[in-house]
Amino acid sequence: MLCVQQHHRGERDDRGPASHRTAQHVARPAAAARRRPAAFGGACLATHPPGPRPDGRPTDLALHGLIEQAGASIAATARLLAERTGLAVVERDDHSSLAARFGLALTGRCDCGHHLRGCTGCGRGCCFTDHDLRSWDPYRCHLRPFVDQAVRGTAQRRIVGGAFAASMLFRALEREGRILCRTVEWGRCDVCGRAFEGLQCPEPHPRQAGSVRREPRKNQLIAPVDESGRHLPLQRWWCAECQHLYGAAAARATAVPGCPRCARRPSRRMTVWARVTPSRSWRTLTA
């Protein structure tokens, strides 16, 4: 109430006119939003005090702090990959080099190679917005969740196949052939309804009669066999009626077999990846 009365009377105190103080309070958030401060470790990512650097890049101290944030996110993501998916594909010796690479990429130099469909060579105009620090709003989230989003596709402490496929870490690992995001063949038990990889349901109940239902699952993170993984690509017939995968779809097949579960003709061929185990060899997969 006192501030309102001072404003109307134009009274002054040691801080200046009330109208001037009001304008300052309104202008400060706007100026802060333009500067996008990211204060951590004494660094400001968007400016070089008292103003931005001539080239518009962050200071060395800010870049070092950003690289540290990326390194911490890489270490956490590597643990999540090993614990949740069983893929130990990020070597500890690679953490430092990946962190430096991602820290620089976040300053507007991302090289993940993502382009929108129909792009004819735009440089990096099609890159994911999460891979650019300029899209970060410090008033909506802290810096670390933003870096986590860029490194593993989500700020949550979990691995989501489709989201991870859009992350910086996946793009770097995929380029070296260490990890893939593909459609994988899974089984579905008709007795208990459990989904599984392998020949038979792991639950201790009588085995079902007839063929096990096989279904495609998208956005599965796998390691190929030539990278010490356990998955190989296969051509299957896919039934649009019951969603069953079966047989080996040869490239020039003339006689297309009917679905063993519903006797319908398959809709099309489908490339899926299947897990290879000691009891499930290449011959078994292609039989």
Q: What pLDDT digit, counting tens, does each position of 172-192 carry?
A: 999 888 999 999 999 888 888
Q: Tell me the average pLDDT across 107-129.
A: 71
pLDDT for residue 62: 87
Q: Tell me the average pLDDT across 72-80.
A: 97
Q: Could you tell me the pLDDT band of residue 277, with boundaries at 50, 70 and 90?
A: low
Q: What pLDDT digit, counting tens, does each position of 134-147 carry?
A: 889 999 999 999 99
Q: Could you tell me the pLDDT band of residue 246, with boundaries at 50, 70 and 90?
A: confident
- Mean pLDDT of all residues belonging to the chain: 76
Q: How far apart are CA 43 and CA 36, in angstroms?
A: 12
Quick check: 278 pLDDT over 60? no
Q: Could you tell me the pLDDT band of residue 101, with boundaries at 50, 70 and 90?
A: very high
Q: Could you tell me the pLDDT band of residue 66, with boundaries at 50, 70 and 90?
A: very high
pLDDT for residue 254: 62
Q: Where are the domains of the chain?
A: 2-35, 60-175, 180-204+211-286
Per-residue three-class SS string for the chain: CHHHHHHHHCCEECCEEHHHHHHHHHHHHHHHHHHCCCCECCECCCCECCECCCCCCCCHHHHHHHHHHHHHHHHHHHHHHHHHHCCCCCCHHHHHHHHHHHHHHHHHHCCCCCCCCCCCCCCCCCCCHHHCHHHCCCCCCCHHHHHHHHHHCCCCCCCCHHHHCCCHHHHHHHHCCCCEEEEEEEEECCCCCCEECCCCCCCCCCCCCCCCEEEEEEEEEECEHHHCCCEEEEEEEECCCCCCEECCCCCCCCCCCCCCCCCCCCCEEEEEEEECECCECHHHHHC
Q: What is the pTM of this model?
A: 0.71
Quick check: 72 pLDDT over 90? yes
Q: Could you tell me the pLDDT band of residue 67, with boundaries at 50, 70 and 90?
A: very high
Q: Could you tell me the pLDDT band of residue 127, with boundaries at 50, 70 and 90?
A: confident
Chain centroid to CA 49 = 34
